[in-house]
Structure 1
Amino acid sequence: MQQNPLITPVILSGGSGTRLWPLSTPEKPKQFLNLFGPLSMFQLTLQRCADESLYRSPVIVGSANHVAIMQEQMQEVGVMSDNIILEPCPRNTAPAIALAALAAENPTDLLLVMPSDHMIKNLAAFRKSVMASIPVAQSRWLVTFGIEATGPATGYGYIQQGDRIVGSSGSWSAKRFVEKPNREHAEQMLAEGGYHWNAGIFLFRADSYLEAMERHSPEMLAACQAAMNKQRIDTDICYPDPDAFASAPSDSIDYAIMERSDKVAVTPVNPGWSDVGSWDALFELSKKDEHSNAIVGKAVTSESGNNLIHSEGMAVAVHGVHDLIIVTHGNKIMILPRGKSQNVKDIAQLLEDED
């Protein structure tokens, strides 16, 4: 029986996570927060790829502003990396992934690209889909993992599957990518079938990605190559050249590569995934039953239900209220109705303007 090649996890950790204000801050964005217990989502992502029979040591691509907290949290879970790449400035996901692909030991290395601020509950299902996608990625397809759509969500992009890929155990060609739809369009896609949420998780050979970038975004590739050619190494940390990297166009992998390439595959999977993109999403992940409150921190409730209470540093008591999001952090308190957490950025900006 032929053994699968080892996969190099690429963990993207440069996001700012402003949608979970006031808990998430530029100094400590959401991937480093302990939202579900003693471990942060960054740490849970590290543990997700700790199986040495399937994965190599991970490549971490993050911000120079967070290197101390990254190293501290890596030590806490005992998953270390000798390949940390620090972006001099944010340029979105396509250039960030290019840095990791250029740093690969061999051009044919398989890269599993994962955001560090997503939750995956069913690790067995995720692992199974990754292993099933290995032959597809080795055949030079750019594989993206499509999440089973459980409702007409308007906050996610969608992927429409095309024809079954010959020889695969569960992958289809990606027919098209759909931007975040309105509710009517989302309902139409679900009724039609064959559409999946775009989770931003990918598997491909390093050279396949770089060749696609050379074809569709050559200016971006040239900037990333120059940045890595002039890199500075300091105690296993890679510092790409700031001026060269800053010249790269800022674009996502979806826009720059996936939507333009003709050999893109989608592997459907249902691993209990969430991008934890809002306080409402956190409530859905944290609640225990249909009418319960989701509480983190010190809080007491009376005649209240369906509230999310996340308190750091102060005690919270509520009585006779329902369907609220209540978050305290330091000297900041935010209260808003559930279902309105998409307005968090505006609320944070209002407070900043007031200051």
Structure 2
Amino acid sequence: MVLCGGNGTRLWPRSRATMPKPFIPLLGEQTLFQATLERCADREIFARPVVVIGERHLRFAEKQVEANAPDALFVVEPFGRNTAPAIALAALALDPDEIMLVCPSDHHITDPEAFRNAARIAAQMATEDWLVAFGIAATAPETGYGYIRRGEALDGGYRVQRFVEKPDLDTALGFLADGGYAWNGGIFAFRAGKFLAELSRHRPNLFATTKCAFERGDNAGATIHPDQESFAEIRGESVDYAVMENTDHAAMVDVSMGWSDIGNWDALFRERQLPSDDNVIVGPGEVIGATGVMIDSDGPHVTLIGANDLVVVVDGEDILVTARGAVQRVREASRCKDQ
């Protein structure tokens, strides 16, 4: 199951609400959405994808599935209600015993074979009614990620002791030193019926309204449209808050797969940077007497002299200049919010 969407604010101005980052070729010619489909293209391992997506982005996804998933089933949300309802809609479209692998469409993974191995392990655990999270090997004290604390060992993985929301730097440093924590990458595996049962148990109203929207909608063919009026009654919530932090059946598998959620311009800088280069230049630009700089321009030539650790992005008439340490604040820009 592929989760698509987003407001396009964290990588503004290149990413926008009308064209969020899953559908933009940020790393090479392939988009992150296409790369997600490609990782799951082997039909000896994976079933056809169920793509949950908003109405305004459907045309982008339909165009980009052709190479790796022409058989995709689309579930089209009239508007966003966060990840728990999105996953529930996909689960309702499946047989209760089918194993769902929930994949956000905007992640970058450099070791797809490690991803597939973790998926096999998680799928086996899911047959035993575990709700399995991928615990990404933490390589830095990241404050923008959630964390998972390993509990007792299970066959193939671990019981989850606790989920931790985005920590401050001192706490994140402690997690890294402890060694018992992993990043929560937002990738999950579970039986469709087990997820719905846990959602019904812990968020009965969310479950009931989502089920109503699904059952009253148009469920024929390769595109499912939930009923818009019923969908409007859904009180959205993330899958972490609604289910994973409440269930007694939360488990995790450890995986080191070169993962990044490309959550801001600094993360994209790190993914683009070559070991031999101090700076990253995409499009016309040059850097003189500076290090730690990324220039990303779609037209005008950008010259940066003597200023370190900056990101400069030119997209049409919009120009962003930010210190790499302040990239989390890009979403505060009024121009970003307007688009």
Q: 2:14 maps to which residue?
A: 23
Q: 2:73 maps to which residue?
A: 83
Q: 1:112 maps to which residue?
A: 101
Residue 129 of structure 1 and its aligned partner are, at CA, apart by: 1.1
Kept in 1, the 8 Å contact 2:209–2:234? The answer is yes
CA distance in 2, matches of 1:255, 1:290: 42
Deviations 1:108-128 (A, max 9, x none): 101000100111111111111
1:153 aligned to 2:139? no
Q: Which moved more, 1:198-207 or 1:308-317?
A: 308-317
1:134 aligned to 2:120? no
Kept in 1, the 8 Å contact 2:9–2:336? The answer is no
Structure 2, unmatched stretches of 5+, are: none
Kept in 1, the 8 Å contact 2:65–2:72? The answer is no
1:178 aligned to 2:164? yes
Residue 303 of structure 1 and its aligned partner are, at CA, apart by: 3.0
Which of 38, 46, 50 is 1:59 aligned to? 50
Deviations 1:102-154 (A, max 9, x none): 000x2110100010011111111111111122221100000000111112111
The one-letter amino acid of 1:144's match is A
1:103 aligned to 2:93? yes
Residue 352 of structure 1 and its aligned partner are, at CA, apart by: 6.1
Residue 29 of structure 1 and its aligned partner are, at CA, apart by: 0.5
The one-letter amino acid of 2:250's match is V
CA distance in 2, matches of 1:288, 1:78: 28
Percentage of matched positions with identical amino acids: 41
TM-score, normalised on structure 2?
Answer: 0.96
Kept in 2, the 8 Å contact 1:117–1:276? The answer is yes
CA distance in 1, matches of 2:10, 2:243: 26
CA distance in 1, matches of 2:140, 2:70: 38
3-state DSSP class of the match of 1:211?
A: helix
1:340 aligned to 2:326? yes
3-state DSSP class of the match of 2:171?
A: helix
Listed as ranges, the matches of 1:1-355 within 5 Å are 10-75=1-66, 77-104=67-94, 106-165=95-154, 168-169=155-156, 171-233=157-219, 236-289=222-275, 291-346=277-332, 348-349=333-334
Q: Which moved more, 1:191-200 or 1:250-259?
A: 191-200
Residue 314 of structure 1 and its aligned partner are, at CA, apart by: 2.5
The one-letter amino acid of 1:271's match is M
3-state DSSP class of the match of 2:75?
A: strand
3-state DSSP class of the match of 1:200?
A: strand
3-state DSSP class of the match of 1:19?
A: coil
Q: Which moved more, 1:124-133 or 1:263-272?
A: 124-133
Residue 289 of structure 1 and its aligned partner are, at CA, apart by: 1.9
CA distance in 1, matches of 2:123, 2:159: 15
CA distance in 2, matches of 1:146, 1:51: 23
3-state DSSP class of the match of 2:252?
A: strand
Q: Superposition RMSD on alpha carbons, in Å?
A: 1.6
After the TM superposition, which parts of structure 1 deviate over 3 Å for at least 4 consecutive aligned residues? 350-353
3-state DSSP class of the match of 2:134?
A: strand
CA distance in 1, matches of 2:313, 2:112: 29
Residue 236 of structure 1 and its aligned partner are, at CA, apart by: 2.0
